């Protein structure tokens, strides 16, 4: 859902009221809400997880990847791999597929439409960053006892990340092109840039 606030759109994922804790044994996907491909992976851990702001941030990153791949600039959605498969899977299988996607993600694994071609390298950066955020920042299971303090930390982290996203996207687009990925020198230069950008970003957040 979204609404227009002066000169910007403000959006929020809905359907959370239909979410349920999944037992460690897994559960059949009998009540589809349509948001399974976008929900934070920790919410599928099998633990009783307190919903946090970080889960909404992770959902936004999944949505961004999806939109860049499945939107051609018109009002029509054009699902493509690997995202198209995710929407057809149950909770457990979709979670496994997305974890595998993040485990060693490369530009070859990210499908970006021609309309969003300028976001291709940025999508790779976001996927690499999401993996590190889940490993080093969001790895602990939040509890109600530390909910408020963790929420405050998450808000401060987002204040740092948002302008950082703009900087990195602009830098990637000014220095490189997705075509550079096909060239040996360009491939290693892009890899080096993303690595040297992701690591300090995570260090700043810890």
- Low-confidence winner among 5-14, 47-56, 176-185, 197-206 (lowest mean pLDDT): 5-14
- Could you please report the per-residue DSSP string of 39-69? S-GGGGSSS-PPP-HHHHHHHHHHHHHHHHH
Helix axes 147-175, 120-132, angle to 10 degrees: 150
From the list 36, 15, 129, 127, the residue with the least C-alpha distance to 85 is 36
- Low-confidence winner among 13-22, 87-96, 128-137 (lowest mean pLDDT): 13-22
- Low-confidence winner among 24-28, 104-108, 175-179 (lowest mean pLDDT): 24-28
pLDDT recorded at residue 1: 64
pLDDT recorded at residue 172: 95
pLDDT recorded at residue 79: 87
pLDDT tens, residue by residue, 135-180:
999 988 878 888 889 899 999 999 999 999 999 999 999 999 999 9
Q: What is the CA radius of gyration of the chain?
A: 17
pLDDT range class, residue 206, cuts 50, 70, 90:
confident
pLDDT recorded at residue 76: 81
pLDDT tens, residue by residue, 42-89:
988 877 788 889 999 999 999 999 999 999 888 788 889 999 999 888
pLDDT recorded at residue 57: 93
From the list 160, 197, 181, the residue with the least C-alpha distance to 57 is 160
Its pTM stands at 0.81
127-159 in b/e burial notation, b at 16+ Cβ within 10 A?
Answer: bbbbbbbbeeebeeebeeeeeeebeebbeebee
**Kind and range of the H or E element at 2?**
strand 2-5
Listed in sequence order, the residues at least 6 apart from 181 whose beta carbon sits closer than 8 Å to its beta carbon are: 107, 108, 121, 187, 190
Asked whether residue 20 carries a pLDDT value surpassing 70, the answer given is: no
Asked whether residue 28 carries a pLDDT value surpassing 50, the answer given is: no
Which tokens sit at 1? 């859902």
pLDDT range class, residue 4, cuts 50, 70, 90:
low
* Interstrand relation of 2-5 and 8-11 (parallel, antiparallel or unpaired): antiparallel
Percent of the chain with pLDDT over 90: 60
pLDDT recorded at residue 61: 95
From the list 108, 124, 102, 109, the residue with the least C-alpha distance to 195 is 124
């Amino acid at each position: 859902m979204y609404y227009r606030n002066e000169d910007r759109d403000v959006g929020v994922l809905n359907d959370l009221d239909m979410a349920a804790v999944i037992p460690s044994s897994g559960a059949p996907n009998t009540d589809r809400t349509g948001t399974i491909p976008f929900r934070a992976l920790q919410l599928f851990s099998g633990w009783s997880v307190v919903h946090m702001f970080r889960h909404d941030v992770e959902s936004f990153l999944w949505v961004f990847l999806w939109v860049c791949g499945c939107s051609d600039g018109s009002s029509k959605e054009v699902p493509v791999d690997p995202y198209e498969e995710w929407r057809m899977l149950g909770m457990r299988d979709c979670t496994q597929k997305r974890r595998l996607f993040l485990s060693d993600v490369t530009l070859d694994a990210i499908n970006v439409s021609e309309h969003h071609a300028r976001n291709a390298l940025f999508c790779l950066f976001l996927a690499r960053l999401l993996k590190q955020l889940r490993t080093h920042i969001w790895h602990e299971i939040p509890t109600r006892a530390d909910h408020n303090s963790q929420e405050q930390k998450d808000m401060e982290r987002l204040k740092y990340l948002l302008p950082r996203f703009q900087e990195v996207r602009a830098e990637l687009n000014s220095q490189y092109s997705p075509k550079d990925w096909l060239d040996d020198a360009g491939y290693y230069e892009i890899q080096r840039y993303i690595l040297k950008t992701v690591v300090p970003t995570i260090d700043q957040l810890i």
